[in-house]
Amino acid sequence: MALDGINNDFIKEPKIVDKNYDNSKMSNEDFLKVLLADLQWQDPLEAKDISEFINNSVKLREMEILNDFQKTIDMLKSVNESNALLYGSSLIGKKIFYEGNATYVQNGKSTVQFKLEDNADVVDVIVMNSMGQVVESQTFKDVTGNQEMTFKIENENLPDGYYTVYIEAKKNGEKVKATVYSQALVESILREDGKIKAVFGNNKVDIDAIVQIGG
């Protein structure tokens, strides 16, 4: 709106932010600058209702609270990850049981546990070396589902290292799914994709998948 006696060419609205500014990432300070500039440069003959200013002030406070809350969440997340990494480092050099089928054999010995989703007439446990050769096997009969079963490897001729365990369970000729828990020797700990993982052999496993320490 032009004012009598004043050349509008000499009136320039202030530049608060760039025209391509992303409003979704506006800081509290920039928000306040825009709000105050809007009040300062408004048409005095069409002044805005003070209630709108109050509403905007409330929104500013809400933004501050949300920003503070997000900072707190980020800080807690960082602390939690650091604590998890510190805890994980205490596992280095220790044996663990984890959900997986690569089991560590040391001095010819290892222990494997498995659990079936249903009863099975026959369960074959097969252990293979890195070349795909069967080095150990055992057959279980009439195994109850959802019950932990233990298979021990005791063969002094086996070199130290990791071996792959396969479980073949059947009920009336149909396959029964099995969950395998194997031993591992933790070599290192790393943080990957926001998760803390134990490293052993050629494997990495979330520490949440560890079901037992020692043994």
Q: Per-residue pLDDT tens for 90-104?
A: 889 999 999 999 999
In tens, the pLDDT along 43-78 reads 555 555 556 655 666 666 666 676 665 666 566 565
Any domain includes 127:
yes
* One domain for residues 32 and 82: yes
Q: What is the pLDDT of residue 91?
A: 86
User: Is the residue at 110 inside a domain?
Assistant: yes
Is 135 in the same domain as 160? yes
Residue in this structure with the two tokens 């205490």, named with its chain if needed: 90
Whether the CB-CB separation of 128 and 193 falls below 8 Å is answered with no
pTM score, whole prediction:
0.60
Query: Are 155 and 136 members of one domain?
Result: yes
The structural domain count of the chain equals 2
Contact by Cβ (8 Å): 102, 203? yes
Residues in the chain: 215
Residue 10: the pLDDT is 44
pLDDT of residue 52: 63
**Boundaries of domain holding 178:** 95-213
H runs (alpha helix) in the chain: 28-40, 50-89
> Are residues 81 and 120 part of one domain?
no
Whether residues 84 and 109 share a domain: the answer is no
- Are 136 and 207 members of one domain? yes
Can you give the pLDDT at residue 194?
75
CA quadruple 68, 73, 78, 82: dihedral sign = positive
Are 53 and 157 members of one domain?
A: no
Residue at a domain's end among 43, 62, 89:
89
The answer as to whether 12 is a domain residue is no
Q: Mean pLDDT throughout 118-132?
A: 95
Question: Are 180 and 165 in contact, with CB atoms under 8 Å apart?
Answer: yes
What tens digit of pLDDT does each residue of 159-214 get?
Answer: 999 999 999 999 999 999 999 999 999 999 888 887 888 999 889 988 888 888 88
184: left (phi over 0), alpha (psi -120 to 50) or beta: beta
Torsion angles phi and psi, residue 19, rounded to 5: -65, -25
Write down the pLDDT at residue 190: 87
Indicate the residue among 73, 89, 105 that finishes a domain. 89
